[in-house]
Structure 1
């Protein structure tokens, strides 16, 4: 649950950072699941996942993803985190109980 100060910060700034909501192990799993995402998506797309590619002048540059929509379809762990009780409890405090995942976005660097 958010503290009153965290809720106020969200109301004033439009975001809040909640330390410890995602464990280091979960972060490692997501990183492993998206490892080599650029080359994997260039070889074979995944149904329902939209990709915007970087544009390079050099045709020898390997493909690089600028933005990947519906990232929960690429990472089962991310999907689990986004739908976890802890995450949903915080989101409910911010926007109320009518919650649905419209899309998730991955911006790989």
Structure 2
């Protein structure tokens, strides 16, 4: 579900944060859903646990998740307003689109 693109200039913790925030905004992760443990996600993505921990800390600071010792990290459902442009930009980058290609795609479907 969560991936990190080593060729993407966006730091791995931010790629993780943005993808989880997008999943919450899209309703694919709902209130009460449990995220993988820091250790498990770090192992799955072949990253240092501190990288995943930073992403989770950022998400907690935004009010999207809550971490409790023994209960894990769960979606709070108290999401801040969604920045749709940021969600689109992260998704486009994750798909390997250049800025020019992403803008061209938007222009192609933009209705005036």
Q: Which has the higher helix share?
A: 2
Q: Same fold (TM over 0.5)?
A: no
* Rg comparison, structure with higher value: 1
| TM value normalised by structure 2 | 0.31
